[in-house]
Amino acid sequence: MFSSRSKATVGLDIGASTVKLVKLDHSKAGYSVAAIGVRELPPDVIVAGEIKDREAVIFNIQSLIDQTDPKIKEVVVSISGHGVITDRFQIDKKTGAEAEQAILFETEQRAPFDIDDVNLDYHVIKVDEDTNKMDVLLVAARKEIMAQYVELIEDCGLKPIVVDDDALAVYNAYSNNYEPDPTKVTALVNIGYDVTNITYIVNGEFQSTRDVSAGTRDIYNAIQKEFRLNPELTSKAIKGEMSDSVDQDMLKATIISATDELISGVELAFSYFKSQAKVDSVDWIVLSGGGSLLPYLPEFLQSKLSVPLEIINPLRNVDYDPEMLQYLQPEKIAPLLTVSVGLAMRKTR
């Protein structure tokens, strides 16, 4: 879904715990922030990608639009989870209808759901003239999930001009802010509330993605239970705003003990990737999402996986006025904006 060309693109990231919006102006010089905002959602309005309370989500999206730029009408959005597959494969070089038929056949072999029930798109990454082969990136989403999100956006009075995938948005944000090292196997690990997206970069190029059905929800619940806090105070404890009233050693122990499923999921995803891609190791982790901001979690993840790690700054190559964004403190929450920045970097036409 595309619209007429404009100089600005709005990325709207609807997460399970927060809604993030970034509006970027595009110019020959690069990107600059025109509007930015984050709004927390009430607990459990979205669980594992399923919208439980549409009215609450719509209200908060509309409130975020009013807060940032009421003139916004067109947005780029994304979806993730088990209703979406992203894959890269190689086929004989073909064009036109022959290429589409070959890609459709490959999709049928890979998709865990009926091919008639999906919307799909593909992109030819590269063509090897010597071997007469071409590498194809495939994205397929279940029609019912796509329709659910498109309808939700439209009910907010907005027009979704592009529907993307979370993992590809993270890759877009990373590749526009950093130079991927072709000598390293890099994993972009985006830790959300219910799902963790992992995007692999090999030889400086996008390789594949994988979702882990675990995020920070278990950590949030464990802190709430351990310290007997309400949702608001739990969020403050996680943000480090209650260091005087919450014992930090106990907080660290609680966070670490609640990461078993997340760590196991990432370890399994890395093992599967290494066997499939025939690589010896993952050399570098770039962390993003709300999980990257949790105290003690990045360090623990690095020690458990024995892989060097850095936290992404998706605004690294983006101009913005610090005074305009002062209340948000973008330098502190930037990793939370990775998907919305990647979406806003999309060129629309």
Splitting the chain (349 residues) into consecutive groups of 10 residues, what average pLDDT does each group show?
A: 61 92 92 92 81 91 94 92 78 84 80 75 83 84 84 94 91 94 94 92 90 91 92 83 83 93 95 91 95 92 94 93 73 90 87
- Cα–chain center distance at 28: 26
Residue 86 CA to residue 199 CA, distance in Å, equals 10
CA 116 from chain centre, in angstroms, equals: 26
Domains, the chain, ranges and CATH? Answer: 1-81+142-178+313-349 (3.30.420.40), 84-139 (3.30.1490.300), 179-311 (3.30.420.40)
17 contact partners, CB below 8 Å, separation of at least 6? 40, 41, 43, 193, 216, 220, 290
Which is it for strands 50-51 and 46-47: parallel, antiparallel or unpaired?
antiparallel
CA distance 256 to 219: 8
Phi, psi angles (nearest 5°) of residue 151: -60, -40
CA distance 212 to 190: 10
Report pLDDT for 6.
47
- What's the rounded Cα separation, in Å, for the pair 216 and 212? 12
Q: Cα(126)–Cα(89) distance, rounded to whole angstroms?
A: 11
**Which pLDDT score is estimated for 101?**
86
DSSP code per residue over 237-304: HHTTTTTTTS-HHHHHHHHHHT-HHHHHHHHHHHHHHHHHHT-S---EEEEESGGGGSTTHHHHHHHH
Q: What is the pLDDT of residue 93?
A: 87
What's residue 326's pLDDT? 65
Residues 6+ apart with CB under 8 A from 101: none
The pLDDT assigned to 347 comes to 81
Output the pTM of the full model.
0.88
Q: Phi and psi (nearest 5°) for 75? A: -135, 155
Spell out the alpha helix ranges (H) of the chain.
54-68, 96-110, 143-155, 166-177, 217-227, 231-238, 248-257, 260-277, 297-305, 330-333, 338-344
- Among 86, 185, 181, 182, residue whose Cα is nearest residue 141: 86
| Structure letter (DSSP) for residue 203 | T
Q: Quick check: 102 and 138 in contact, CB under 8 A?
A: no
